[in-house]
Amino acid sequence: MDFKNRNIVGAFWCSIEGLKILFKEKAARRELLLFPLSVVYIIVFQPAVLFMVLLLVLPLLIISIEAINTAIEYICDEITMDESNKIKKAKDLGSAAIFLSLTAYGGVFIIGLFY
């Protein structure tokens, strides 16, 4: 059944299909581990509310960025599997976005220890 863009329920099911695709990727499954890490951190260190919120929201943003990065990689691979400098740049930029978001998470994690 094709639910694509017909209504909010259809959009929901498209999102679920996207999540199924995303969590077949190793990187996304690794990033999903940030949630239990955040929960343990919150229980053990009991940081300020701001840090708790950041530790719970940042993993969602990281996984969202991973979804976009994965989409970029799928599109690039569909265009060509041959070496291409522009496609390499597109994939590297997606990877950089993930790196920066993980760096932000790590920064919040570390700063929360000393706040």
Residue 58 exposure: Cα atoms within 13 Å on the Cβ side: 24
Distance separating the N- and C-terminal Cα atoms of the chain:
51
Contact 76, 31 (CB under 8 A): no
**What is residue 7's DSSP assignment?**
S
What angle do the packed helices 34-45 and 85-114 form, to 10 degrees?
10
Catalytic residue numbers read 66
Q: Distance between CA atoms of 80 and 100, rounded to whole angstroms?
A: 27
